[in-house]
Copies of this chain bind each other. A is one copy, B any other.
Amino acid sequence: MVTSIQDTLEGNTQVAPHAVELVEALRGTELFAALSTEILEGIAAHSRIIEVAGDTILYRQDDPTDSLYVLLEGRLAGFSVAANGTTAVIEVIQRGETLGLAAVLARQPRLMGVRTVHGSRLLRIEANDLLALLEREPALVTAMLVAEANEFRALVRQVCDLKLRTTAQRLGCYLLSLSTEHRANTAALRLPFDKRLLAARLGCRQENLSRAFAALRSFGVETHGARVILHDIAGLRAYAQPDEAAA
* A residues at B contact (CB < 8 Å): 80, 82-84, 86, 88-90, 102-103, 105-108, 111-112, 135, 138, 142, 145-146, 148-149, 151-153, 155-160, 162-165, 200, 203, 241-244
Measured in the bound complex, the distance between the Cα atoms of B83 and A152 in whole Å is 19
User: Of residues A80, A165, A243, which shows the largest number of chain B Cβ atoms within 10 Å of its Cβ?
Assistant: A80
Measured in the bound complex, the distance between the Cα atoms of B135 and A19 in whole Å is 31
Q: A159-B158, A164-B88 are in contact. Are A103 and B149 (CB under 8 A)?
A: yes
Q: Report whether A152 and B149 are in contact in the complex, using a CB–CB cutoff of 8 Å.
A: no
Q: Report whether A106 and B146 are in contact in the complex, using a CB–CB cutoff of 8 Å.
A: yes
Report B-chain residues with C-beta under 8 Å of the C-beta of A86. Answer: 164
Listed by A's residue number, 29 A-B pairs whose Cβ atoms lie within 8 Å are A82-B165, A82-B241, A82-B243, A83-B244, A84-B241, A86-B164, A90-B156, A90-B159, A90-B160, A105-B145, A105-B148, A105-B149, A106-B142, A106-B146, A106-B149, A107-B142, A107-B145, A111-B152, A111-B153, A111-B156, A148-B148, A151-B152, A152-B155, A158-B159, A162-B162, A162-B203, A163-B200, A163-B203, A164-B203
Nearest CB to that of A148 among chain B residues?
B102
Report B-chain residues with C-beta under 8 Å of the C-beta of A149. Answer: 102-103, 105-106, 108, 111
Measured in the bound complex, the distance between the Cα atoms of B156 and A242 in whole Å is 22
Measured in the bound complex, the distance between the Cα atoms of B163 and A165 in whole Å is 13
State how many angstroms separate the Cβ of A99 from the closest Cβ of chain B: 11
State how many angstroms separate the Cβ of A92 from the closest Cβ of chain B: 12
Q: Report whether A156 and B80 are in contact in the complex, using a CB–CB cutoff of 8 Å.
A: yes
Report B-chain residues with C-beta under 8 Å of the C-beta of A203. Answer: 159, 162-164
State how many angstroms separate the Cβ of A44 from the closest Cβ of chain B: 24
Nearest CB to that of A79 among chain B residues?
B160
Measured in the bound complex, the distance between the Cα atoms of B203 and A162 in whole Å is 7
Q: A103-B149, A138-B135 are in contact. Are A80 and B111 (CB under 8 A)?
A: no
Measured in the bound complex, the distance between the Cα atoms of B53 and A122 in whole Å is 50
Measured in the bound complex, the distance between the Cα atoms of B194 and A162 in whole Å is 21
Report B-chain residues with C-beta under 8 Å of the C-beta of A138. Answer: 135
